[in-house]
Structure 1
Amino acid sequence: MDLSSINWLAILIATMVSFVSAFNWFSEKAFFPMWWKAMKKGPTEQPGDGQNMGVTFALSTLATLTQAVTLALLIDVVAQATGDISVATGALTGLVVGLAVASAALGHRLFAGHGIKVWLIEVSNDLINFVLMGLVFSFYY
């Protein structure tokens, strides 16, 4: 398991798929209004108010790339152990990693006072994104 075994095109595609998924998940026609209200934000407030959005997107991209690389390395380990990666194995590996990330985030959300609804909306998208990344890697393995 080393970085030379990573398919960087698959990493790029998995990262873009994750961003498209999140963009749709948190759109005005999907979960953004419910999430924003659960975050106790008003209608005049905007995401990122008072923040440098360039830094926000750069760090979000770095975080998603890190998730993709980590999942790709784990899928490589699974492939070496089983001999291959099927679509089901890629999706299941993504789901397992997503569940680990989701459970870790629960305490952060609750102690921050955001509540379980915010956590459910956010981690549902995280779970979907990890499954989608696992699927991407299964096609490129």
Structure 2
Amino acid sequence: MSELRIVPVGDDQTLLDWQLVHNEIIPTAALSVEEIRERVKRNVLEVAYDGDVLVGCSTVRPPSQETPAAVVIARVLPAYRRRGFGTAIYEHCLRRGRELGDRIETHILASNQDGVRFAKAHGFVEVETYLLPGDTIPFIELRLGE
């Protein structure tokens, strides 16, 4: 890892970069540009670059009526895993999440075994598995420190 830069989604290029990472890691819930434009109004969406190379993205959702915890999601493209990027992105998200609430959760597509292992290694425990309408691969909801 040379120089990790984490920048907010704020223009078309960062939006498309965020979309690329999200849709590669979560192909069952791919998002359109319009859906991402809506999400960026409610959530903190950021992209991570190693120098100028796109390596990942993140989402921090504030607590809400449906989810009374801040949700932190760090995604790293498979070619860049196990190099420290996930930890750096996660720690960045966790700081933001803690500013928004006391409870922290994450949601990971069950087929993303690297992501599930990463979350459990960082103190998350599984609390629920759920299937979105029309999907065949469930998501796992994990909570930090329980």
Q: Give the TM-score normalised by the residue count of structure 1.
A: 0.31
Q: Give the TM-score normalised by the residue count of structure 2.
A: 0.30
Structure with the larger strand share: 2
**Based on CA coordinates, which of the two structures has the bigger radius of gyration?**
1
